[in-house]
Structure 1
């Protein structure tokens, strides 16, 4: 049943007046000075999450300070940024947080695996783990620390004290050949056998006489698109010196044995 016109007009006027009153109250409240409340918290991840929820509820503080034992999680960092954008002064300190860095690169190896480049304070104990579990535990030395990991599952996690650093495992490298250059003999034979047992595709050019060579595969393809490493066993590879130098400048690997 429709309402009478007079009653509808009265209800509309009441609703409009209520909305205007609510807007006026919100405007006055936003302009009024807020009570000063400085919150300082020494926290781990669990305590920080609880504190963030408390700081977000009214009455909100004007300034907050976080004393962190390790870097906050991404969700917590975004929450602190939102508080800062809302007018809260956000500061933090973390003198005990160790400076760490982690980079993961694929191994140029037919067996696969990755190489982990780890940086952390010298003497610190570091553990590397993946989605399955613990991979390795090492004592950090000064300078670069490189760890060869034969296999990994998912992202790699570096833990130093309470600080986690994570890096995604890269795609594996496409297998390319190894080229062996030198004189025919037991040395070339055993080098090629060892490479093939590892899973390498081996090309070679071995000298058996002043003008006689035994060739396997494509040893002339000295470019990084086809070849990973060139192994020069002796001075008979001197004829390839220019090509080997160009290959090395392009990022290829070179081993000179003799």
Structure 2
């Protein structure tokens, strides 16, 4: 089947295009670099001709409150309208575990707005909520650094390999629409500060990790279970240590 992957040149999108193609599907990467812009609508009608499924793994270039909300509302609205006109039968979107548990977070609030548009659309849909990717661990540590120390909250944390997120999204896309959500997370649940102590040690990074109950996670203070999935989540098999050894040298 023809599957259009919006954000198909990014981290998860490129993995999806590769995996879907390997399984015999016509997977098309849709992104500004391929002539498709969901914010303006440019190229949408053309790329959706003959598509059975659309997977949206695109992301906002800015996490500032107004900008990120505008991105997800505008791009999702344009995409859903174009899908309806093209007769697409399944819309799949990648979101984040815990969006509804931290609504004061600008990014999470924008993802909630995106999901509401999808749920109100007549197009059958599936939402895949993922925990944080292993690939972003260094960025999280850098964002949490102040005065040379990494300030991390002692909350639960269950990151996952990007490959396993892509696998779950791909399997969801070729199945029947859920008209609901599923969650995907890594195999190991940590305390977030302990994960980063182990991670920095594995990187050979000398920064001290400070356990800080008031530490912010991209602008908001997470609760004990904000960032971990509930019962029934799809759990990956790749541990962070294995991923680091395999993918990060």
State whether TM-score is above 0.5: no
Larger relative contact order (CA 8 Å, sep ≥ 6): 2
Q: Which of 1 and 2 has greater Rg? A: 1
Alignment TM-score, normalising by the size of structure 1: 0.22
* Higher helix residue share: 2
